[in-house]
Each structure stands twice: as structure tokens, then as C-alpha cells.
Chain A
Amino acid sequence: MAEHLFQFVIWCVALLVLMVLLWLVYGLLDHGLAKLSFEFLLSEPQNAGRDGGIISILVATLLILAVTLLAALPLGLASAVWLAEFTATHHFWARKVRLALDVMAGVPSIVFGLFGYAFFGIFMGMGFSVLSGGLTLACMILPVFIRTCEIGLRGVNNSWRQGAAALGMPKIKAVWYILLPAAMPAISAGLILGIGRATAETAALMFTSGYVDRMPESVMDSGRALSVHIYDLSMNVTGGDAAAQASALLLLMIIIVLNMLAYAVTDLWLGRRLSNDLA
């Protein structure tokens, strides 16, 4: 009897969690789907975003993400390679770096925003710009990205490391030609998750890439990201709800697709690791 009751309760709790998501999606579909169209996606916002579309917002978002990627990819890979391949697990500095990364991963995004504003915006003189916003996001996603890549590299079959060393291949060449390609699925999964987090970010961008909803002309221009657009429409613009809901629906769709991609890539990676172990 108690067993059945317990099962009933956990089923209810699980369904409740699912209901929250379904309710959210339903609300967005109900209010936003009517507004979401190719015309909405491809026209400039007008009247503070109440009318028109979101093309300049989408372009700004993509530019910010491009900057984030260009900055995070080399920095993240280099750090992960250093942590996984060039230091022992208990190396003094490696432990300090790992601790710093774990702390950084837990820092609230608004703090990254303030840091970005002070460092990139004022100190480096980038002002409110796509560049400043993208670099701030890069700092924000780096911790998780580095740790995912590190774990991916450590998971690579050790016999390939030995094989390369036994052929007199310099370590860095082994990393470049053999280990990084083998760790690629893990790296991709980390990157996709990072992009997902960056796409959804609002607080870190308000002080860095700014609010301007014009089409950005260069990375030095201010640009409004999709999430900032949603925030602004729903908090500061009366009558902007429909556009906010449509933008939010689009954002949610992007995040879902990115997460599914990450899952698919991780599955591929696990599948490959299993087949390597069996071979």
C-alpha cells in the first residue's frame, strides 16, 4: 500500500515538472505564434519594437555569438589541452586553475555583466558594443566549456597517446592530429551547450552590448540581443507583449534545438567510446 502511494506521489511530481514546461510552451504558442512569421523575422523593429520585426536583433545576436565563439574556442581548447595533456592531475597550478574555473562557473551572470562593462567597456575602451558583449559572454561560458573539453580529452583512449609517443611524435602534434579529433564530439557538445547558455543570456549583455535596436554596422556598434529585446519589450514597452512572446517563442525553439543537438552529439560520443572499448 505504502509502495503504491509512494509511486503515485513520485509520478505526480514528475508530471508536475513536465506540466511547468508544457504550460510555458503553451503560453508562448498561444500568445506568440500568431505574430511569428517570416515577415516578423525579416523586418526592422519599429515603434520601440511594438511593430515591425526583429531582423536587426537577430543579426546582433548572431554577431555577439560569433565573437563569443571566436574568443572562447581557441582559449578554451588551449586551456583544456594544458589541463588534460600537459599537467599531471595533481599539479599545483592545474588544481588552482580548476578551482578558479569551478568558482567562475558559479558566478551570477549579472556579475559578469558588471565585469564586462568595467573591463571591456570602460578599461579597454570598447564601450557598449557587440565586441564587448561577445567577449563578456566568452568569459562566462569558458569555465564549463574548458571542463567539458578537458573531460573529453581525458576520455580519449590512452593507447593512442602511447602509440604516438612510441613513434617519436612530439606531444603537441599528437594532440593536434589524433587526440583533439578523437575528442571532437565532447568538444562539440560543450560548445553547443555554451552557445545555448550564451544565446539565453540577458543580464551580462545589458551593460556590455547595450540596448540599441538598430542594425549593427560593425562589431564596435551597440546591438540588442534577442533575450535583451524580450526583457525590454516586456518590462519597458507597454503594448510590446505580442512581439515579446513571439521573440521568446523563437528563443525557446533555438534553445531546444541546440540542446537536442548537444544530446545527439553526446550520444555519438558515448557510442564511439563504447565501440572503441569493445574493439
Chain B
Amino acid sequence: MISPDKGFTIGQLTEAKACCEPTPHLSVQNLSINYHQKTVLDNVNLDIYKGCITALIGPSGCGKTSFLSALNRMLDMTTGATVSGQVTFNGENIYKSDKDLLQLRRRVGMIFQKPNPFPLSIYRNLALPLKEIGIKNKQLIEHKIETVLKEVGLWEEVHHQLDMTATKLSGGQQQRLCIARALVLQPEVLLMDEPCSALDPISSAVVEDLIVSLRGRYTVVIVTHNLAQAKRVANYAAFFWMQERVGKLIEFGRSQNLFEQPQNTLTAAFIDGRKG
């Protein structure tokens, strides 16, 4: 039985009342993605709900990462990629021609598979994006840096060495710094592309806990190959699959439904490990 207070998740629920009354935050309509005329993702329709964690699951090459990077138009940076359809964010299609991409990406942050802190100090990694949005007051910058580093649980580990080059941190610390760097701009949505897959199991667990703690305050969309992780963290899940060499959204729904009572036979086979 699905109980609304569980927030449609199988895993533990912390701070997530918002997703019990689903309000679309990002609304995807008829989204198709082509690379050099070849369709990789065909006609996707789905809503990303505010304050919830939505997991995108499916085998490699079925267009999950392309779909994710279409949500903040990072896909524009890939040569040959074209998008049709629309994505509505705060009542506005992000694919309209005069959309301010810098503003969009400050509202919809992104975390990559491989941690990518800039080869600068920890402090500068976090101060640079703040200066870009016009925050010059040193005290305010320091306050914001302390806040986000505490939020990602890195403050205790690094507060005495903020001038150390960020690339010297361990992989898990680097990924948490990257999450902090995205959070410092106070985005509404965080897009995460397999944020734990390049990390060791212990760091991975730390980052996963961090992602769960973001629920309720940020809308999170996470691509993951780890089904167990998707079960633990997600309120909603979307299952992608290749049909006739084209990526398609097969099933989307409450995480608990999708994992425990999948409607589609493909979904059931994938979750059981019979396919994929």
C-alpha cells in the first residue's frame, strides 16, 4: 500500500513534505534530442516535482544524461545536438530563443559524474561563482561559504585549509565541494549525473546521505546506474530504455510504485535484473 506520508519513497524520508503534494517544478513536453540527425531520445513527457528527488534509471546509452543536460541547456555545448519540444521552468519555456542561459544555469545547477573542482583554492572555487552574481562583500562571501560547506558536511574537514588547492582533496570531498559550489548560488533545481559512480563506497554513501538531506529544499534530478541507490533516495523514478535504437521514456511514476508494482514488463525485467 502507498501511504502519502512516505512521500512515495521506499527509502527513509527526511524533510520532504513538499513532494507529498506534487507541484511540477520543471515540466517536460514532447522533448526529443538528436545528435547529427540521429534521434537519441524520442518524445519524452514528464513533470519533475518540486522538492522531490527524481531518479532517472535505465541502461547505458538510452539518453538519460542527454535528457538531464537538456534541463539546463548544457546540451547546447555539445556540437551537433539539437532539441525539439519544450521544458517549462517557472512558467517559462527554457528553449525560447531569448532565454538568458546564464540566469537559467544559476537557478538549475549541475553536478557531474567526475568531480570537477577548479584548479584553484577551496575558497576561490566557492567565491568565484558568488562574485559572478555580483556579491562583492567579503564578509557576506565568507558567511555564505561557511554555510554551504557546513551544509555539505565539509566545514569540519577543511575550514582550517580553505586556501588549499581543491584538486588535492579526496574524490568524495571534491564531489561534496562541487555540490557546495552549486548550492552557493542558491539554485532551485540540482541536476546530478551519476554523482557517486566515480567514488569509493564510503565516499559514495556520504554523498548519498547528502543528496537525501537536500530533499524538500531543492528539487533534485539524479541519473544513476545504481538501482539500490535509486530505491533509497528517490520519490519519483523514470525508466528509460532503447527501442529500435532510440531512447524512450518507458515508465514514470512514484518510486514505490515503479519499483514494487511496475506497470510495464520492460520495467519489471530491468528491476529484476533480467534485462539491462
Contacts and interface: CB of A to CB of B under 8 A. Distances in A.
Q: Say whether A associates with B.
A: yes
A264 interface: no
Contacts of B79: 88
Contacts of A88: 79
Contacts of A163: 112, 116-118, 178, 181
Contacts of B50: none
Nearest to A275: B167
B74 A162 contact: yes
Of listed A162, A182, A276, residue having the most chain B CB within 10 A: A162
A20 interface: no
Interface string B101-112: 111111001101
Nearest to B76: A165
A220 interface: no
- The range of chain B's interface size is 20 to 34
Contacts of A173: 132
Contact of B102 (A162, A168, A181, A276): A168
Given A88-B79, A162-B74, A173-B132, A167 B120 contact: no
Given A159-B112, A177-B128, A166 B105 contact: yes
B77 interface: yes
B109 A167 contact: yes
A167 B185 contact: yes
A159 B119 CA distance: 11
B266 to A, nearest CB: 32
Interface in A148-171: 157, 159-170
A1 interface: no
B114 interface: yes
B59 interface: no
Contact of B167 (A161, A165, A169, A276): A276
A167 B109 CA distance: 6
Contact of A166 (B109, B114, B128, B133): B109
A161 B178 CA distance: 14
B106 A168 contact: yes
A37 B24 CA distance: 81
Contacts of A164: 118
Contact of A167 (B114, B119, B167, B181): B181
Contacts of B53: none
Nearest to A161: B77
Main secondary structure of the interface of A (DSSP, over half): helix
A178 B120 contact: yes
A181 B112 contact: no
Interface in B57-87: 72, 74, 77, 79
B124 to A, nearest CB: 8
B112 A167 contact: no
B105 A167 contact: yes
A167 B106 contact: yes
B129 interface: yes
A164 B106 CA distance: 11
Interface in B108-147: 109-110, 112, 114, 116-120, 128-129, 132-133
B254 to A, nearest CB: 29
Given A159-B112, A177-B128, A279-B167, A166 B182 contact: yes
Given A166-B112, A167-B106, A167-B182, 20 more contacts: A159-B112, A159-B114, A160-B118, A160-B119, A162-B77, A164-B118, A166-B74, A166-B109, A166-B110, A167-B109, A167-B128, A167-B181, A168-B102, A168-B133, A169-B132, A170-B132, A177-B120, A178-B119, A181-B120, A276-B167
21 contacts: A161-B77, A163-B116, A163-B117, A163-B118, A164-B118, A165-B77, A165-B105, A166-B72, A166-B74, A166-B109, A167-B106, A167-B132, A167-B181, A167-B185, A168-B105, A168-B132, A170-B132, A177-B120, A178-B118, A181-B119, A279-B167
Interface of B: 72, 74, 77, 79, 101-106, 109-110, 112, 114, 116-120, 128-129, 132-133, 167, 178, 181-182, 185
> 10 closest Cβ contacts across the A-B interface?
A159-B116, A168-B106, A166-B110, A168-B105, A168-B102, A163-B116, A167-B129, A178-B118, A169-B132, A182-B119
